[in-house]
Amino acid sequence: MLQPPNLPLWIALGALLVAAVADGSLHAYARAVFYVALTAWAWEEVTSGVNWARRLIGAAGLVFVVLRVGAALGA
């Protein structure tokens, strides 16, 4: 059975859609909201995921955010 996405994931997906169609400042703010919401979702999964697979997906989400933010900062 599939579980519907929780609120942080819905926010992340919405922000990603806005970023896809926007440019300029709105694009930048939408991307920032995407990364913050994705981080919140991933942290929830890592700390309170119902099984190892959910915790692993959350950890992968955190790694994704760290790598993307690091790349944006020139690391």
Spatial distance between the Cα atoms of 33 and 50, rounded to a whole number of angstroms: 26
Domain that includes residue 20, residue range: 7-72
Q: Looking at the 3D structure of the chain, how many domains does it have?
A: 1
Spatial distance between the Cα atoms of 44 and 40, rounded to a whole number of angstroms: 6
pLDDT of amino acid 5: 78
pLDDT of amino acid 75: 78
pLDDT of amino acid 4: 77
- Cβ proximity of 66 and 49 under 8 Å: no
Q: Is residue 2 part of a domain?
A: no
Q: Is residue 23 part of a domain?
A: yes
Say how far residue 17 (Cα) sits from the centre of its chain: 13
Q: Is residue 61 part of a domain?
A: yes
Task: Walk along the chain (75 residues) in steps of 10 and give the mean pLDDT of each run.
Answer: 84 98 97 97 94 95 96 89
> Has this prediction a pTM greater than 0.95?
no
pLDDT of amino acid 1: 65
